[in-house]
């Protein structure tokens, strides 16, 4: 089943989810599917593309060649695989990587509504409803969590939010989830750079549940909200204790303190379509100069630690994916701050409350 959402250009998106946020526009050319299902193949055939590019994140590589074969057989189109590491919906292949391509099929990501797309893009979100909802609800209730909880989920497990809300409601626990800003396609959706779905209900809850697997999202959520974050893994039916937010924030404050007197700064800007905040970088450069600091803008696509070796700077501020500074900072030979941390280092904003670098 599909529904058509309004788009700024009037270009009719096909195969978009009926549960996309009410009235929220998605970019022209964006189409979203729960899985690589019949609707996807029919839409590709109808569009009559001659060359399709397939982009697959590391965790889904196993399915890529088979899906590519199926798309080729079903559509008659030439299928080319993009093999460079793909971080999110924010880094679609550049035009030079996919010369001659007429469409992109990308696995494991939801559309970013406010991100322009160069090609018609078919987001196959790889959703699953796997997970025993009653057992998950029992786990939460028996662990004695607060009766007012917020919830966010990775795109793969988003379909479980509704059933889990009902199951917990029967046990006296209220689950709240908010609508995000223009970077998020769905209510309750978590993106590693944007937890506005959680921030918008933070005043009404006493803690948060992250529904999904791994540590990437719970870590980001813990930076973004000043409330305990529990991780509920629907595949393992496990509930992990809250992360040590105070310790995480303390480490960031120490990093800021180390570079408060730095005179020479590099401001990192990514060329990826959904990670490029050049205007912000230019504003930060002006702020730095107004504090008598030197600051230069450094542009990259995929950041490698070796690219920053031997640069004549004392510290960096990254305007690209906020998780570069927060999760991977130790990989680089100089400290890397996020933009709000940089403003704290300049003395323009207080160190606390800690502000997550939400990518809007």
Distance (Å, rounded) from C-alpha 99 to C-alpha 116?
18
**What is the Cα 328 distance to its own chain's centre?**
16
Exposed e or buried b per residue across 188-222, where buried means at least 16 C-beta atoms within 10 angstroms of its C-beta: bbbbbbbbbbbbbbbeebebbbbbbbeeebbbbbb
**Position among 184, 321, 326, 345 found at the interface with ligand SF4 (CB under 6 A):** 321
Whether the Cβ atoms of residue 354 and residue 303 lie closer than 8 Å to each other: no
Minimum CB–partner distance for residue 244 and ligand SF4 (Å) = 21
**Nearer residue to ligand SF4 within complex by CB, 178 or 274:** 274
**What is the Cα 125 distance to its own chain's centre?**
13
Minimum CB–partner distance for residue 28 and ligand SF4 (Å) = 20
Whether the Cβ atoms of residue 285 and residue 293 lie closer than 8 Å to each other: no
Q: Which of 284, 278, 260 is CA-nearest to residue 335?
A: 260
**Nearer residue to ligand SF4 within complex by CB, 14 or 323:** 323
Binding mask 78-117 for ligand SF4 (x = CB under 6 A): ---------xx-x---------------------------
The stretch near ligand SF4 (CB under 6 A) out of 138-146, 185-193, 282-290, 349-357 is 185-193
323 binds ligand SF4 (CB under 6 A): yes
**Position among 180, 192, 234, 329 found at the interface with ligand SF4 (CB under 6 A):** 192
Count of residues of this chain found to bind ligand SF4 when the rule CB under 6 A is applied: 11
**Nearer residue to ligand SF4 within complex by CB, 275 or 344:** 275
Give burial (CB, 10 Å; 0-12/13-18/19+) of 236.
exposed
**Nearer residue to ligand SF4 within complex by CB, 69 or 84:** 84
Distance (Å, rounded) from C-alpha 27 to C-alpha 283?
27
Q: Which residues bind ligand SF4 (CB under 6 A)?
A: 87-88, 90, 191-193, 274-275, 321, 323, 359
């Amino acid at each position: 089943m599909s529904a058509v959402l309004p788009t700024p250009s009037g270009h009719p998106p096909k195969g978009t989810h009926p549960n996309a946020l009410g009235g929220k526009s998605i970019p022209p050319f964006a189409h979203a599917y729960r899985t690589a299902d019949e609707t996807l193949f029919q839409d590709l055939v109808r569009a009559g593309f001659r060359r399709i590019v397939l982009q697959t994140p590391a965790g889904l590589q196993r399915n890529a060649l088979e899906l590519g074969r199926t798309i080729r057989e079903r559509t008659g189109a030439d299928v080319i695989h993009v093999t460079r590491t793909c971080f999110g919906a924010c880094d679609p292949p550049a035009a030079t990587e996919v010369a001659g391509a007429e469409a992109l099929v990308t696995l494991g990501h939801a559309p970013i509504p406010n991100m322009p797309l160069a090609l018609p893009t078919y987001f196959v979100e790889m959703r699953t409803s796997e997970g025993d909802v009653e057992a998950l609800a029992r786990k939460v209730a028996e662990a004695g969590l607060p009766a007012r909880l917020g919830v966010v989920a990775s795109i793969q497990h988003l379909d479980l939010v509704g059933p889990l809300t009902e199951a917990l409601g029967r046990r006296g626990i209220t689950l709240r989830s908010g609508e995000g800003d223009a970077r998020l396609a769905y209510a309750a959706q978590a993106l590693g750079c944007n937890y506005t779905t959680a921030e918008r209900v933070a005043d009404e809850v006493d803690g948060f549940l992250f529904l999904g697997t791994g540590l990437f999202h719970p870590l980001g959520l813990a930076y973004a909200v000043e409330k305990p974050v529990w991780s509920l893994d629907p595949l393992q039916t496990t509930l992990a204790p809250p992360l040590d937010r105070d310790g995480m924030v303390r480490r960031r404050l120490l990093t800021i303190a180390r570079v408060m007197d730095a005179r020479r700064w590099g401001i990192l800007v990514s060329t990826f379509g959904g990670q490029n905040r050049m205007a912000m970088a230019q504003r930060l450069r002006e702020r730095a100069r107004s504090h008598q600091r030197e600051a230069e803008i450094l542009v990259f696509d995929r950041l490698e630690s070796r690219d920053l070796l031997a640069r004549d700077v004392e510290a960096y501020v990254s305007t690209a994916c906020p998780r570069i500074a927060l999760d991977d900072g130790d990989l680089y030979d100089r400290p890397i701050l996020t933009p709000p941390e940089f403003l704290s280092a300049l003395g323009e904003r207080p160190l606390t409350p800690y502000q997550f670098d939400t990518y809007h």
